[in-house]
Structure formats: structure tokens, C-alpha cells
Amino acid sequence: MGTESLSEPVRVLTDYSQKRVGASEVMRALAGHKGWLAPALMFARAEGQDLFVDRVVLFGTETRLPPGELWVFTDRAAAERAQAAGALLGPYAAGVAGTELFGKIDPGFRIVRVNPYSPVEQGWQFLPGSYELAQLWAEVIALEEGFKNRGDSFYEAVARFRGFMLFNGPSGSVITLPNQGGMRNPAVVFTAPDCVEAFLARLTDEQRQGLERVAADGMTLIRKLPLQGIDGMLINAFGPGAATLLSFAEIEDVNSLYDETY
């Protein structure tokens, strides 16, 4: 099967197996994928109400997976491969977004398998220690997808996001790019490790010396950066994640935003 016929996450997984991409590219592809198949009961409403997924695919009437395991598939072909090998999958929700899937992983699972019974280079697995990482990447993608929607919902999403990264320079001051994006002194801010690496790749070895990476939630940045003479944020200015600008002058009432977020 040529790579042109593979789904995007499978193509990235294959590239990872051949050391052409790193783990961040894999996580971005998995969390950003909108065509997941997952056990339909993960998406059932409380108290036995109807499923609220758009589409359910029946791979038989009974779901019988190994105890403590969750099996998810990047596409129908991968699920059908497992079914053909004898797996009892039962009803699966189709067209599930990674931003939703990774937020619903029960921490009680001992392993989450991606594409079991597919060629090893097309698979992945999550162990309990990596569930939070999967959830964080889902939050990254959800935030980046919302960049195109300005207004209160955008500001609230930025304020709620817990995984921003930025740099302090040798003097302890936040690294900024003056006079960019229509702002006087905006901070350079990132949503994910691959966006950090894209920034660092543009620097010389000398420029990287003394940089200190700092993590913070969005509300902390919105409240504290203006106190340092910073008037906004350049978010993911160098990719690969979606980029946007946030001028603190856009936010009319920070206290109201704080009430909405916390």
C-alpha cells in the first residue's frame, strides 16, 4: 500500500517508524485526527440514553476486548483488519475527533491500543502514564482550532489553556518580538513542544544560550505579562501549530474573564 492511500495519522505513524518525524508530530496527528473509531459506549449519555455520535458502525453485536484494554482505530480499514483477525469489536462510533476521544480515556485502562492487528509501523499505544499527555495534546488542538473565532469565547479558551510555554532570557525578562503583529512588545508564546522547537531552530547557538523555558496557564499570562510592559502575545508565530495574535488591549474586562474561566 503506497503512502498516498494512507490516512494522515497512519502516514505520520509510518514516518515515525522510519525516524522521519518525532513524537510531537505523531501526537499532533493523532489528536488532530477527526476520523477515529472508538467503542460506541464511550460516547453514550448517562442513564442509558441514546448514543449521541453521528455514526455507529456495527462490527458484530458483541464487544469483547482483553480486560483493561481500549482499542481505537484511525480508519475503518484498520478496524476491519482487526475484525478479520477475529476481534470482537461490536458497535463502534465513527468520525470521532481526537480532541473528544483523548478527553474520554478512562484512567483505569491499563493500555490504549491504536490500530491493533495493523502492521506495527501503523500502530501506537498509550500506557497510563501517557494518558495526561494525550489529553494535553487534545487541548492543544482544540485551542488552535478555535483561533479563527475571535471574541469572548476565544479569550476564555486562551485563559483556560494550561499548557502555554514561553522563554525568559538571561536577564530574566520574557522573550518578546518588538513591533510585530501591530503590537509594541508582544511575548513569543507557544502551545506545544513542536512549536517551541520551530522557534529554537531559527536561533543561533549563541542566541539559545541562557534561555529558560517557562510553562504557564493562559490566565496567568493575561494577568501578569502586562505588568512587565508586554502588550500581547504572538502565539505559535513559527508554526507548525495554528498561529494567532492576542493584543491585551482587546480584552475589555480581565476580571470578568477570570470569573468566566475559574
Same-domain check for residues 248 and 129: no
Q: What is the pLDDT of residue 2?
A: 45
* Position 144 in a domain: no
Residues 115 and 235 in one domain: no
Query: In a structure prediction context, what are the per-residue pLDDT tens digits for the chain, which is 262 residues long?
Result: 444 477 899 999 999 999 999 999 999 999 999 999 999 988 765 444 444 556 889 998 888 999 999 999 999 999 999 999 999 999 999 999 999 999 889 999 999 999 999 999 999 999 999 999 999 999 999 999 999 887 788 999 999 999 999 999 999 999 999 999 999 999 999 999 999 999 999 999 999 999 999 999 999 999 999 999 999 999 999 999 999 999 999 887 666 665 555 4
My answer on whether 91 and 165 are in the same domain is no
**Residue pair 183/176 in contact by the 8 Å Cβ criterion:** no
- Whether 187 is in a domain gets the answer yes
The whole-number pLDDT of residue 48 equals: 45
Task: Indicate whether 18 and 128 sit together in one domain.
Answer: yes
Residue at which a domain ends, from 138, 171, 194: 138
Is residue 13 situated within a structural domain? Answer: yes
Provide the terminal-to-terminal Cα distance of the chain, rounded to the nearest Å: 49
What pTM did the predictor assign? 0.88
Q: Do both 30 and 59 map to the same domain? A: yes
Answer whether residue 143 is part of any domain: no
Judgement on whether residues 108 and 206 belong to the same structural domain of the protein? no
Q: What is the C-alpha to C-alpha distance for residues 135 and 153, in angstroms, rounded to an integer?
A: 20
- 117 and 7 in one domain? yes
pLDDT at 252: 74
One domain for residues 134 and 7:
yes
Q: What is the pLDDT of residue 152?
A: 82
**Whole-number pLDDT of residue 187:** 98
Which pLDDT score is estimated for 200?
97
Give yes or no: residues 126 and 215 share one domain.
no
Q: Are 79 and 99 in a shared domain?
A: yes
Residue 96 included in any domain: yes
DSSP strands (E only) in 191-238: 212-216, 232-235
Eight-class DSSP state of 239: -
Q: What pLDDT sits at residue 260?
A: 52
Quote the CA–CA distance of 93 and 70 in Å, as a whole number.
13
pLDDT at 46: 43
Domain containing 17 equals: 3-138
CA distance 186 to 176: 5
What are the CA-CA distances from residue 165 to residues 128, 169, 245 (Å)? 24, 13, 15
- Domain total in the chain: 2
Write b or e for each residue in 165-178: b if 16 or more Cβ atoms lie within 10 A of its Cβ, otherwise e.
bbbeeeeeebbbee
Q: Judge whether 231 lies within some domain.
A: yes
What CATH number is given to the structural domain containing 253?
A: 3.40.1350.90
